[in-house]
Structure 1
Amino acid sequence: MTNRVAVIDLGTNTFHLLIAEPGQSYFFTELLHKSEAVKLGEGGINDGVIRPDAYQRGIAAMNKFQQYILQYNVQQVKALATSAMRSATNGQQFIDEVKAQTGIQIGIILGDTEAQYIYQGVKASNCLQADNSLIVDIGGGSVELIIGNNEHITYKQSFEIGAARLMALFHQTDPIPPSSIQDLYAHLDNHLQPMLAAVARNSVINLIGSSGAFETFAELAERDKGYDFELKQNQVYTFNEQDFLKITNRLIQSSHDERLSMKGIIPVRIDMIVVASLITCYLLEKLQIKEVVMTAYSLKEGVLASMLNQQVLNKL
């Protein structure tokens, strides 16, 4: 029997389950992809605690995932937790409870490892070129920024400036006022100096956004043209520069109710898409980047690639 593997990405906003097996024409065949909007960081992200409601949503999601793992007869499971769990005082308690209820062992990974997996996932989507790109992964708790090409990584770093953290600090009035945008940009100036210096040393040709908010940007871009957007048929999407700026500006200036009425924004992103837009616009402006590309591949596909590669090596 083919060795089926499962990857669980316990993000700050969303838990993802990806079940796959080695593929014939590509490195994997997806059997199931489920996402649960857990919002683990809700109400406590900057206080370093998982609040009771979020805690229970997380436990429920892991129990649901375990049922799928049994149903699909998965032989190997890798569950990885990122920023919210790294910084939560009750993170270990959550891990212990999940282990007791489901048998799934969650590993907390450091930001550096997270960035490495994201690079591997993005590389697997074949959107990297010979010249360097700036890979951007905007999570709820952290943002990973990686400079790399189709051969190797030049620079990688994880910053604890994710969308949930920035929203709690700066987006308390809706629409977000110009003064809050200025404060947010000053906060990014303060935190992102190492990355800005790295780009100064290693020029980049474009910005590649890894899944998450960038999938929403792509869907909105296509809907603006009157088309439906099917992510499975658009694993890599290149934006028109003006279309991209038009979409992000519209989101930044919008109210909660206006975003709620926009088809193409999933519920968990209705509010966080504003700071995700601001982070992206900050990077484009600061680094004078003109081209933006979305890839649907991210951490979970990077983990999957390493698991399936290891299977191949074990057979040699």
Structure 2
Amino acid sequence: MSKRIAVMDLGTNTFHLLIAEGNASDYKEIVHEHEAVKLGEGGINKGIIQPEAYERGMAAMLKFHKLLGENDVQDVSAIATSALRNASNGQQFMDEVAEKTGINIEIIDGEQEADYIYKGVKLAGGLSHQTSLIMDIGGGSVEFIVGNENAILWKQSFEIGAARLMDKFHRTDPIPRESINALEIYLEEHLPSLLAVASKYPVDSIIGSSGAFETFAELIELEKNNPFTLDIKNYTFDFNELVAVTNKLIASSHNERKDTKGIIPIRVDMIVVASLITRFITQKLGIHKVYLSTYSLKEGVLAEMMA
């Protein structure tokens, strides 16, 4: 029997656990869990994990530890990104997890995060010889990777994730026009290197890596009464449908989003700023070919562990 491997992607909003066996190109999924820990809630821009968020994160790690034992996992990789990377009590959290579970969490920087995201998207078969811009909207950071099936041409991580932007700009619901303007100015100020690189490497398409892009795809398909499953690896957006769904989300109220089938609870509010980031990038770069890859960081880590 092949070795069972577990990958934990410990993000700002969600902790993911993937247990699998086999080889990277054709692995068998044993367990796929995600817990809405909202680690950044109330403290992401202050650089601290608040007590309630800390407890949610710890409860998720204890649950994951139990699942590791129940599924005879031999090799574990637990990867932490923006929230734990920047929190003053992030090390305390990791030390407590190690003490209670024996799981050693590895904090990776934005560059390494971008590498894993690229490997995940490549594993899904979403890249071609054409140059694409991979975009991964996390809660704490957003990774942009310019590349093709052969190589990464450029990559950078920006601390402009959905939880950070929501905390700064989305304090009234629906989000007011002046907040949208302020958010767009903020993105313009923080992304000059991305806008410069897009003129250096003509980008053919945008690939949205999991997260918010899964919600966009699900809402579009539900609108057409089509069943949507995340069992797919790649999805092609009709650009006009993508524009329509993001505009509708930006204009919506919390209750409208909460009552909309296809929006998971953790994304009910963050989907607004994720829609605004998506709209900003497609407009700034003038790109109308947009795809979804349901593979991201954890599949990239898995690919490396199984190699």
TM over 0.5: yes
Q: Which amino acid aligns with 2:280?
A: Y
The question of 1:276 aligning with 2:274 is answered yes
For each residue in 1:216-235, what CA deviation from the matched residue of structure 2 results, as whole angstroms up to 9, or x when unmatched?
00100100111121111x22
Determine the structure 1 residue equivalent to 2:289.
291
Determine the structure 1 residue equivalent to 2:263.
265
Determine helix, strand or coil for the equivalent of 2:272.
helix
Count of paired positions: 307
Aligned counterparts of 1:254 and 1:127: Cα–Cα separation in 2: 31
Aligned counterparts of 1:43 and 1:27: Cα–Cα separation in 2: 40
For each residue in 1:228-267, what CA deviation from the matched residue of structure 2 results, as whole angstroms up to 9, or x when unmatched?
21111x2211010111000000000000011011100000
Determine the structure 2 residue equivalent to 1:313.
none
Q: How far off is 1:143 after superposition?
A: 0.1
- Provide the aligned C-alpha RMSD in A: 0.8
Aligned counterparts of 1:287 and 1:248: Cα–Cα separation in 2: 17
Structure 1 regions of 5+ residues with no counterpart? 310-316
Determine the structure 2 residue equivalent to 1:146.
145
Q: How far off is 1:31 after superposition?
A: 1.1
Aligned counterparts of 2:204 and 2:223: Cα–Cα separation in 1: 26
Aligned counterparts of 2:168 and 2:36: Cα–Cα separation in 1: 21
Is the 8 Å Cα contact of residues 208 and 290 (structure 2) preserved in structure 1?
yes
Aligned counterparts of 2:48 and 2:212: Cα–Cα separation in 1: 24
Determine the structure 2 residue equivalent to 1:39.
38
Determine the structure 2 residue equivalent to 1:312.
none
Aligned counterparts of 2:29 and 2:143: Cα–Cα separation in 1: 25
Aligned counterparts of 1:254 and 1:228: Cα–Cα separation in 2: 23
Aligned counterparts of 2:147 and 2:66: Cα–Cα separation in 1: 38
Q: How far off is 1:201 after superposition?
A: 0.1
Aligned counterparts of 2:75 and 2:177: Cα–Cα separation in 1: 49
Determine the structure 1 residue equivalent to 2:234.
236
Determine the structure 1 residue equivalent to 2:302.
304
Is the 8 Å Cα contact of residues 208 and 292 (structure 1) preserved in structure 2?
yes
Aligned counterparts of 1:27 and 1:77: Cα–Cα separation in 2: 19
Q: Which amino acid aligns with 1:251?
A: L
Is the 8 Å Cα contact of residues 12 and 139 (structure 1) preserved in structure 2?
yes
Determine the structure 2 residue equivalent to 1:16.
16
Q: How far off is 1:27 after superposition?
A: 3.4
Q: How far off is 1:12 after superposition?
A: 0.0
Determine the structure 2 residue equivalent to 1:121.
120
Percent pairwise identity: 58
- TM normalised by structure 2 equals 0.99
Determine helix, strand or coil for the equivalent of 1:257.
helix
Q: Which amino acid aligns with 1:32?
A: V
Is the 8 Å Cα contact of residues 48 and 88 (structure 1) preserved in structure 2?
yes
Structure 2 regions of 5+ residues with no counterpart? none
Determine helix, strand or coil for the equivalent of 2:187.
helix
* Correspondence list, 1:1-316, <5 A: 1-23=1-23, 26-232=25-231, 234-309=232-307
Is the 8 Å Cα contact of residues 27 and 305 (structure 1) preserved in structure 2?
no
Aligned counterparts of 1:88 and 1:115: Cα–Cα separation in 2: 20
Determine helix, strand or coil for the equivalent of 1:22.
strand
Is the 8 Å Cα contact of residues 23 and 306 (structure 2) preserved in structure 1?
no
For each residue in 1:128-156, what CA deviation from the matched residue of structure 2 results, as whole angstroms up to 9, or x when unmatched?
11011000000000000000000000000
Q: How far off is 1:23 after superposition?
A: 4.2
Determine helix, strand or coil for the equivalent of 2:76.
strand
Q: Which amino acid aligns with 1:147?
A: V
Is the 8 Å Cα contact of residues 20 and 29 (structure 2) preserved in structure 1?
yes
Is the 8 Å Cα contact of residues 79 and 107 (structure 1) preserved in structure 2?
yes
TM superposition outliers: structure 1 runs of 4+ over 2 Å: none
